[in-house]
A and B are shown apart, each in its own frame.
Chain A
Amino acid sequence: MTDIVQLLILGILLGGVYGVMATGLTLVYGVMGVVNLAHAVVMVAAAYMAFFMWQDWGVDPFVSMIATIPVFFAVGMGLYYVFFQRIAGSARFGEMTVLLSFGLALVIEGVLGFAFTGIYHTANPGYATKTFDIGSVIVPKGQLYAFVASVVLLAALGAILYFTRVGYAIRATMQNATAAQIVGVNVNRVSAVAFGIGTAMAGAAGSLMSYLFTFFPGAHWQFIALLLALTVVGGLGSLRGALVGAIGLSVAAAFVTDLAGPNWSYLTFYLALFVVLLVRPQGLFGRKVSV
């Protein structure tokens, strides 16, 4: 019995963090149809930033978000204006964004490797290795704090999207870009902001990643694969879907790990992806036809 609760908790805690990573990715797709394969490498870059702030200046990873979030928001908008805006009107836009972001990911990974070498890093603030013991359930402190931070970040994202003018414009563009233009939304600028928000979330996730995982320049590949699986299962472009996918699959993976060992945890995500693509390609909450 305890086992199940334990697995549930581990799954949910990790799922929350994946949720933050995934919502950034799916937001960008929903607004402008961009599949951003460089999303995870931005996370890793942010992890490096958070790590060095911790190692050299003693800044706690959570506090580092004050830096990573705005910095990577700016980076995101910059990337959009320099690269993605150029191909905005083209016929094969979807495929081009995949190639473009893939290239960006390689370049950024290369730069990170050049600057920091391939040595594995991980930050080690006190709570990273401590746990709360509640009855027979073990709750790792680091993951719990990360989960709380994720909830706060997602709430903030929700607040922006549902209570600010820009948020309305972003949601309007996601639902019907033409209609948005008709009411005066500058779809281009909104896309840039949405891209910025997406990478800002990647930045925040990076701060969390700095102590939750051991990272190195090439670590982003396993994350982007995971995140794509998550977002497709939840439905590309659906924020709700990204969250449900993240938490649902993380819990499932926790159970699979318990039953079959850690090597199989990734299999859960890919198996789910496979099944979804066969049975319901638009994902759990993906849209089919709009008004």
Chain B
Amino acid sequence: MSTLTLDGVRAGYGRGPDILNGISMTVESGTTCCVIGPNGAGKSTILKVVAGLVRPREGTITLDGERVDGRRPDQMIGTGICLVPQDRSLFPEMTVAENLRMAGYLITDKHRLETRLDAVYDRFPLLRERAHQRARTLSGGQQQLVALSRALILEPRILLVDEPSLGLAPLVADQIFDTLRQFNELGMTILLVEQNARKGLETADVGFVVDLGREKFQGPADTILEHPEIRELYLGRRGRRPKQGIAP
């Protein structure tokens, strides 16, 4: 079971202002949830806080009832949380194979690591072909694939994906989302943040709408965009204050 719960989380960067303003949300085990919302809503920050890269100033984060907030990022793997950051975050000078092996840094059982590596190469023959190519020479889509494959090797309980389609051509992005669907079918709970709301929701079961660091509402992914508040959320309140301007 891997139900993730955020409760009243307040967080910001360094000594800057709060980006998350007491957000609460629950990601049910086995589902794919897509977080959408206007710019500056704090979507990426949610993932960073869960992954331990940003410390919450208030509130708790629990995975199946166990507190996971306040830990170092490298301790998060032990709790079963794996992040795929916006910039893929690969090791540029290492080859594809080395990048994947690094994902298995904490796996002490060599046999288990080899089995998982084989599974990755079976699923993505493209990676086997480019196993000895340096990561920085890969295309955006290929890098994203390597970043996602790291997840396969770690077999996390919950996968956090930050803007998977960023910088990718639409067709390539489709392949990435397809991959996420496959991961979900394997039993991984997925929490993703996507600027392109429509695309992100296509892959999800549930949509979470976030604005100004708080949850607004949630609903089934296929119908949430029809929610009457969506237009106001993205395009502002109706009924402006009358403004006395200079007559044109």
Residues of A within 8 A of B (CB): 91, 165, 168-169, 171-172, 175-176, 178-187, 290-291
Contact = CB atoms under 8 A, between A and B. Distances in A.
B136 A291 contact: yes
Contacts of A179: 85, 89-91
Given A182-B83, A185-B105, A291 B143 contact: yes
28 contacts: A168-B98, A168-B101, A168-B102, A171-B91, A172-B94, A172-B102, A175-B91, A175-B93, A175-B94, A176-B90, A178-B53, A178-B85, A180-B91, A181-B53, A181-B74, A182-B73, A182-B83, A182-B85, A182-B89, A183-B103, A183-B105, A184-B77, A185-B105, A186-B72, A291-B87, A291-B88, A291-B90, A291-B91
A183 B72 contact: no
Nearest to A175: B91
Query: Chain A binding site: helix, strand, loop or mixed by DSSP?
Result: helix
Contact of B74 (A91, A187, A291): A187
Contacts, number: 75
B51 interface: yes
B97 interface: no
A179 B86 CA distance: 11
A175 B93 CA distance: 7
A165 B154 CA distance: 17
A179 B94 CA distance: 12
| The 3 residue pairs across chains A and B that have the minimum distance between CB atoms | A179-B89, A291-B92, A181-B73
Contacts of B88: 291
Contacts of B138: 291
Contacts of A187: 74
B26 to A, nearest CB: 24
A183 B53 contact: no
Contact of B91 (A165, A176, A181): A176
Interface string B41-62: 0000000000101000000000
Interface in B3-56: 14, 51, 53
A234 to B, nearest CB: 16
A257 to B, nearest CB: 36
B106 A184 contact: yes
Contacts of B85: 178-179, 182
Interface of B: 14, 51, 53, 72-74, 77-78, 82-83, 85, 87-94, 98, 101-103, 105-106, 135-136, 138, 143, 150, 154
B51 A184 contact: no
B102 A183 contact: yes
A165 B72 contact: no
A169 B105 CA distance: 8
B72 A181 contact: yes
Given A178-B85, A291-B135, A183 B92 contact: no
Given A171-B91, A183-B103, A290-B92, 7 more contacts: A165-B105, A172-B91, A176-B92, A178-B73, A180-B91, A183-B74, A184-B105
Contacts of A176: 89-92
B191 to A, nearest CB: 15
B131 to A, nearest CB: 16
A171 B91 CA distance: 9
Contacts of A91: 14
B94 A171 contact: yes
A187 B53 CA distance: 13
Contacts of B87: 291
A25 to B, nearest CB: 20
A180 B91 CA distance: 8
A165 B108 CA distance: 11
A291 B85 CA distance: 12
Nearest to A190: B74
B20 to A, nearest CB: 20
Contacts of B102: 168, 172, 180, 183
B188 to A, nearest CB: 16
A165 B78 CA distance: 18
A225 B67 CA distance: 50
Contacts of A165: 105
B83 to A, nearest CB: 6
Contacts of B83: 182
Contacts of A291: 87-88, 90-92, 135-136, 138, 143
A183 B150 contact: yes
Interface centre among B82, B92, B103, B106 (most CB of A within 10 A): B92
Given A182-B82, A183-B77, A291-B143, A175 B105 contact: no
Contacts of A183: 74, 77, 102-103, 105-106, 150, 154
A180 B93 CA distance: 13
Contacts of A185: 74, 105
A238 B122 CA distance: 35
Contacts of B103: 183
Contacts of A169: 105
Contacts of B77: 182-184
